[in-house]
Structure 1
Amino acid sequence: MTSSHTAPHSDHPPLSTRDRRARIAVAFAFGAQGLAYAGLLSSLPGFKDRFGIGDDAVTFAILGVGILAAVGTIVAERVARGAGGSRTVLVSGLVTVAIAVVVIALAPHVAFFFVGFAIYGLGLGQVDAGTNMQAVSLQRTYGRSIVTGFYAAWSAAGVLGALYVSAYAHYDVPQQVALPVLALLVLVIAGLVLQSAWRSHDAPFEVSAEEARAARSLPWSGILILGAAVVAYYVVDTASSTWGTVYLADVLDARHDVAPFGYAVYVGTTLVSRLTGDFAVRRWGRVAVIRAAGLLGTMGLLAVVLAHSAALAIAGFALTGIGLGVVAPLCFAAAGALSPAHANAVIARLNSFNYLGAILGGVLVGAIASGSTLRFGFVVPLVLAAVIILLAPGFAVGPGHGPGPELLDEPADAAHHSGPVV
């Protein structure tokens, strides 16, 4: 084991086959989350037509998902302390998400539709927390930044999910047939995680005396700064993913097989952002990258608000994604340096801000839309994208946050070892 979380990558022992298998399993878990999320949200126009509901009902469902996801992440923190660690959290969450997708798809009445989204919220919180716990732990073992790559897997699967919805809508395949296919894929990935992910990354590891003193209380000032960035990002992300398809269909009169492309290009450009994010941080540092991200996101959302054609709005969503795609992974990466010995607790608490942002992005935008139009609703994420620029200095946390040689500045609660704890 190592006593310092700033050891360069070259000082780390060789990676084992189990390390690599765990990384693949966790990447697939991120993908399963993105696939289910995109499949459900891109299907919202179809749900509205099928159940005869309006934006207010969708807003209510989103509110429930956000509240129950926050409950799910609290449960995740406690379950992760057990023998199964975050692997148990992740498997449980994926199974819950799969059940929720089936309930939503087969719902014979709108009441079952809401029940399904409630179940989904519980699973969402567990999967979000479990994937980030596993990812940060693996990053410690790898000795270099890999968290952004996991989020790229989420984005890639999100693109596939949105395109899948566009395809089944184009060919008039019933949701009752199309969506359970996504649930089956999520269950298969849950089995992969059960077999290959780390059983626990909560085993004790050596920390310095300074780190041990810092671990006595959580660094709330740092958590709150990063949490504000998480809220701002997830307001934008939820507004774009939840209401983007509806905006194109209802405000700009895009066809149902065209409307999902707003979400598809948004997630697709977040994929590009996340694939290049680690290199950008090494080259220019986290603060500069976050400033650029906020600027691009602001420009993209301005185009969305001003758009009078589906093409311009889709281009705006694309620019938003390529700018802001790195914000969430860099928030969790910076959080890992705040309290190395209690990284799981820090991640779980930071993850709670995710749902505050999701609720604001889904509910506030929807409420404004119900009272006026979604065009005005998107002014909220536009303003918060600009706020991210102001929060950029808060990402200067730990060694390696600036340009230059990369150091491991995002330690987790894991033992530094050559293989997973099994």
Structure 2
Amino acid sequence: MAATVFAAQGASVAAVSTTVPAVKEHLGLSATATTVLIVAVALSAGAGSFAGSAAIRRSGPVAAMRGAVLTSAIALLLIGWAPEQATVTAGYLLFGLALGGIDVSANTRATAVEHHYGRSIFASFYAAWSAGGVTAALLTAGTARLGWPPAATLTAQAALVLLLALTLRAHPLPAAPPDPATATGTPPIDLGRGLWIRLAPFGVVLLVAYVVDSTVSAWSTVYLHQTLAAALSAAPLAYAAYQVGTVTGRSCADHLVRRAGPAAVIRIATLLTAAALAGMAAAPGWPYAVLAAGCVGLGVSALAPLCLASAGRLRPGAAEAVLARLNVFNYLGVITGGAASGILGSAGHFRLAYAVPSALVLVLLLTARSFAPAQGVGGGVARTSPDW
């Protein structure tokens, strides 16, 4: 089930990101208004993350995931059929709330599964996220090629998310280990004042990773369309290539972590991401930018899963509370990347929007030593197949 929720979230994020130019043109939104909307999604996602944490404590992660996925589908319909700016703003805000709820509930469930298995498998869930993103991005490109309006495209995207939601089934983890991350009905656990300090290295990596992710996800379609003169049917291909890169990277990441250790994976991912972003900034045409975006996805793919898995192990019995706090860095990265890229893009400097993160990502080399060894994750041993 958890992998299905990650796929649904990836599809919904791709649906929103790849339809930004079409929605912008359809409603006549200015570049500033578009930037504000993207930042508003991140802000409301932060609120949704803490709301999702409360929902997990009250109803459990499965119910929280199901409700958040259904809400994201409704938000897609609202964005697609919005007749004016006020309605589309409400749609984006609702989507942000749902996104935050999915984040904390799905990551809590994934933490419990990894804790059960006793080895690194977190990146595999994010591979499902990326696969959903590829599917939705290609759907946007296909409907744009056919000349569909934004309402029809986002209706098709909502149908895809709903189809995934209908497959969700509650299957408890077998033989749950001590301190299960999915426990409900227990008193709140004192996380301690030092938690923020322990979260800081992971938070820095997550913040920079989502600066990169937001810059590519939210603005690559616009970058290709406005700066590199790509048609609306070709512009979403950079997002699709980015997600193909993340699928590939995340499919291999767990194996690499088990063989080389998380610190080495962080260093390799950092250098590849920096080089690929520089290539994207210097791309002479949109096909080159598509290729570079794929390499960015390959590099950045392991960063978020490793951060979330490491943070979830800090307090196994209160993973949802820890991850809700870590998500603050996530949304700060989305806000920073989305806003900065939008401002630079509206001023005609989209290339600079990719060159700056290329230098920023090198900071992550300093945090690699903070990642715990992948061996002994949760101290458990695989017994039977968990809820995927």
Same fold (TM over 0.5): yes
Query: Paired residue for 2:295?
Result: 319
Equivalents in 2 of 1:96, 1:387: separation in Å?
36
What residue identity is the alignment partner of 2:206? V
- 8 Å contact 1:147–1:329 — kept in the other structure? yes
Q: CA deviation at 1:390?
A: 2.4
Query: Paired residue for 2:351?
Result: 375
Q: CA deviation at 1:331?
A: 0.5
What residue identity is the alignment partner of 1:104? I
| 3-state DSSP of counterpart to 1:378 | helix
Equivalents in 1 of 2:311, 2:302: separation in Å?
14
What residue identity is the alignment partner of 2:81? L
TM-score by length of 2: 0.91
The within-5 A match list for 1:3-402 is: 25-82=1-58, 84-193=59-168, 195-196=170-171, 201-203=181-183, 216-217=192-193, 219-395=195-371, 397=372, 400-401=373-374
Change (3 A) 1:228 1:29: same
Equivalents in 1 of 2:96, 2:5: separation in Å?
17
| 3-state DSSP of counterpart to 1:172 | coil
Change (3 A) 1:325 1:418: closer
Query: What's the RMSD between the two structures over aligned residues?
Result: 2.3
Question: Which one is further off, 129-138 or 303-312?
Answer: 303-312
Equivalents in 2 of 1:71, 1:159: separation in Å?
27
| 3-state DSSP of counterpart to 1:377 | helix
Residue deviations 1:124-151, cap 9 Å, x none?
0001111101111111222322211110
Equivalents in 2 of 1:184, 1:331: separation in Å?
32
Q: CA deviation at 1:203?
A: 2.5
Q: CA deviation at 1:417?
A: 9.1
Residue deviations 1:339-392, cap 9 Å, x none?
233222111111221111111110111112223421122233222222222221
What residue identity is the alignment partner of 1:361? G
- 8 Å contact 1:292–1:389 — kept in the other structure? no
Question: Which one is further off, 94-103 or 183-192?
Answer: 183-192
Q: Which runs of 4+ in 1 moved over 3 A?
A: 194-198, 214-218, 416-421
- 8 Å contact 1:79–1:85 — kept in the other structure? yes
Change (3 A) 1:216 1:109: closer
| 3-state DSSP of counterpart to 1:81 | helix
Q: CA deviation at 1:26?
A: 1.2
Equivalents in 2 of 1:359, 1:146: separation in Å?
28
Equivalents in 1 of 2:260, 2:354: separation in Å?
30
Equivalents in 1 of 2:267, 2:316: separation in Å?
26
What residue identity is the alignment partner of 2:197? S
Equivalents in 1 of 2:51, 2:316: separation in Å?
21
Question: Which one is further off, 144-153 or 290-299?
Answer: 144-153
Residue deviations 1:163-189, cap 9 Å, x none?
110000001122222221222332333
TM-score by length of 1: 0.84
Residue deviations 1:183-225, cap 9 Å, x none?
2332333343354477x95328xxxxxxx9x955552222111
What residue identity is the alignment partner of 2:139? Y
Q: CA deviation at 1:410?
A: 8.1
Change (3 A) 1:420 1:201: farther
What residue identity is the alignment partner of 2:333? G
| 3-state DSSP of counterpart to 1:267 | helix
Equivalents in 1 of 2:293, 2:2: separation in Å?
27
Query: Paired residue for 2:176?
Result: none
Residue deviations 1:60-81, cap 9 Å, x none?
1011101110000011111211
Q: CA deviation at 1:309?
A: 1.2
- The answer to whether residue 376 in structure 2 is matched with residue 407 in structure 1 is yes
Q: How many pairs are equivalent?
A: 377
Residue deviations 1:12-44, cap 9 Å, x none?
xxxxxxxxxxxxx11111101111111111111
% same residue: 35
Please, which runs of 5 or more residues in structure 1 have no aligned partner?
Answer: 1-24, 205-211
- 8 Å contact 1:336–1:410 — kept in the other structure? no
Please, which runs of 5 or more residues in structure 2 have no aligned partner?
Answer: 174-179
